[in-house]
Structure formats: structure tokens, C-alpha cells
């Protein structure tokens, strides 16, 4: 089928949506590192040059997916509410919610882990500005979620808490998903078991300790 350029805003929006949907589907089949522009172009039946009519680069496509994943995650979190309890208990509830919900969102964690080192490169200044405003909006929503569970936090506390949780998740995600050779080493030698990282447990414990530490410093 010959390429037909999208000529109206509606057609351009639909073409962008098709590209994003294809990339999202591919991330259910492969990690971010394996999703190339060539493979994406084949999936949407477009030449690479035609994909680049709608996005700066492969990285720009994936950044927009990251923004959508973050927005969907924060919407999920906003539907939850704390139960009665002490500040420590409410902090633990929030820690459990963040850790368990992130563990279910493989694409979000994979994209977030690649954000600074890979996805924020090879993009235009315009894309970078749009992306950072989207990230700012997501952080503001996360701050609101944190202060709903822990009204003892001011906005600075909530920002520090959420940044710590997300940085932990970004580091723990690839570490908790080692390649086959490392898994074989763990299986072959029980003495190495302490080196294996459990993503959910690591994020939960970090969130619990961070919340408790911030609360203690406010007394």
C-alpha cells in the first residue's frame, strides 16, 4: 500500500496514535532496548522517514509512551484511599500501594529506567520541553497522592519522598531482572542469593523507611 500523508490535524493525530499503539504493543513483547525505529516502522507499515514525520525519533515515541504510562498509573493511584491509622501505618499503606502497583506495570518501569540515559537523548528542544511539563504534571499528582496518605508532609517532603521512590524503582527494575547467565549463577551458588534483588520488596522497604525518616525529622 502506497504511503498517504496525513493532511488534516485529525489524520495526523490518528497517525501518531497508530504509531504509539504499535510501540506499546511491541513493549509487551520485548524490552525498550530491543525496540528499534526500523522494527517500529515495519510494524506500522511505514518507512522510517515517514514515522519521523510525526516524531523526532524513536526516543520521542518512547518518551510519549512513558508520559501515557505515568498518567495511567497516577489515575490508578488516585482511586485508592488510606484507611485510618497512625502516620507510620498510613506510610506503610502508601509504600505497599506504590510498590505493588509499579511491579504490575512492566512497560512503565522499563521506560522509566531508560529515561535519563537513553530516552532523553536524540530529541528536539520542543519535545524536551513538552516532556518535562508532562513529567511535572505527573509529579504534582504524585505529591497530591502522597499528602493524602500523609497530610503530615508538606509539598517538599512529598516531592522528596516520591523522587526517592521513583529513583529506587528505576534502579531496582533492571537489577531485579538479570540475564540468564546471572540467574544461572544465583541458582548454582546459594552464597550469591543475597545479591538477588526483589523489585517489590526493595521499593516497598525504601518507601517505608523514607516516609518514616521524613516523619521523624518533622517532630
Convert the pLDDT of each residue in 159-184 to its tens digit: 999 999 999 999 999 999 999 999 99
**One domain, residues 31 and 83:** no
> Given 25, 54, 83, which residue is the final one in a domain?
54
Q: Note whether 92 and 170 are same-domain residues.
A: yes
Per the confidence metrics, is the pTM higher than 0.85? Answer: yes
Answer with the one of 12, 33, 54 that is the final residue of a domain.
54
d(CA 145, CA 180): 37
| 32-39 long-range contacts, CB within 8 A, separation 24+ | 32/62, 32/110, 32/111, 32/113, 32/114, 32/118, 32/119, 33/114, 33/118, 35/62
Q: Please indicate, yes or no, whether residues 42 and 77 belong to a single structural domain of this protein.
A: no
CB 135 within 8 Å of CB 67: yes
Do 190 and 103 fall into the same domain? yes
CATH number of the domain to which 10 belongs? 1.10.10
For residue 155, what are the domain limits?
Answer: 57-218
Other CB atoms within a 10 A radius of the CB of residue 80 amount to 13
Specify whether 41 is located in the same domain as 13: yes
The number of beta carbons lying within 10 Å of the beta carbon of residue 176 is: 18
Residue 87's pLDDT band, with cuts at 50, 70 and 90, is: very high
Number of domains into which the chain is organized:
2
| pLDDT number for residue 196 | 92
Domain termination residue (choose one: 31, 54, 77)? 54
> Is residue 63 domain-shared with residue 137, that is, in the same domain?
yes
Q: How confident is the model at residue 4 (pLDDT cuts 50, 70, 90)?
A: low
Residues 3-41, buried b or exposed e (16+ Cβ, 10 A)? eeebeeeeeeeebbebbbebbeebbeeebbeebeeeebb
Give the per-residue pLDDT at 5. 62
Looking at 5-9, 101-105, 210-214, which range is the least confident one?
Answer: 5-9
Residue 103's CATH number: 1.10.357.10
Does 37 lie in the same domain as 20?
yes
* 35 plus 86 within the same structural domain: no
Amino acid at each position: 500500500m502506497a504511503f498517504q500523508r496525513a493532511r488534516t490535524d485529525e489524520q495526523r493525530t490518528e497517525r501518531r496514535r497508530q504509531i504509539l499503539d504499535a510501540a506499546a504493543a511491541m513493549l509487551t513483547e520485548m524490552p525498550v532496548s530491543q525496540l528499534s525505529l526500523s522494527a517500529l516502522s515495519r510494524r506500522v507499515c511505514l518507512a522510517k522517514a515517514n514515522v519521523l514525520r510525526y516524531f523526532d525519533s524513536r526516543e520521542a515515541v518512547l518518551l510519549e509512551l512513558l508520559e501515557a504510562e505515568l498518567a495511567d498509573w497516577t489515575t490508578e493511584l488516585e482511586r485508592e484511599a488510606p484507611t485510618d491509622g497512625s502516620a507510620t501505618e498510613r506510610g506503610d499503606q502508601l509504600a505497599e500501594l506504590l510498590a505493588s502497583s509499579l511491579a504490575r506495570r512492566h512497560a512503565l518501569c522499563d521506560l522509566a529506567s531508560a529515561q535519563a540515559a537513553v530516552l532523553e537523548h536524540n530529541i528536539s528542544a520542543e519535545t524536551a520541553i513538552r516532556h518535562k511539563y508532562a513529567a511535572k504534571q505527573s509529579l504534582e499528582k504524585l505529591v497530591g497522592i502522597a499528602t493524602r496518605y500523609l497530610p503530615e508532609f508538606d509539598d517538599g517532603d512529598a516531592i522528596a519522598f516520591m523522587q526517592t521512590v521513583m529513583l529506587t524503582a528505576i534502579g531496582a527494575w533492571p537489577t531485579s531482572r538479570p540475564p540468564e547467565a546471572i540467574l544461572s549463577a544465583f541458582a548454582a551458588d546459594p552464597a550469591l542469593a543475597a545479591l538477588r534483588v526483589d523489585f517489590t520488596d526493595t521499593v516497598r522497604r525504601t518507601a517505608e523507611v523514607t516516609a518514616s525518616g521524613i516523619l521523624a525529622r518533622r517532630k
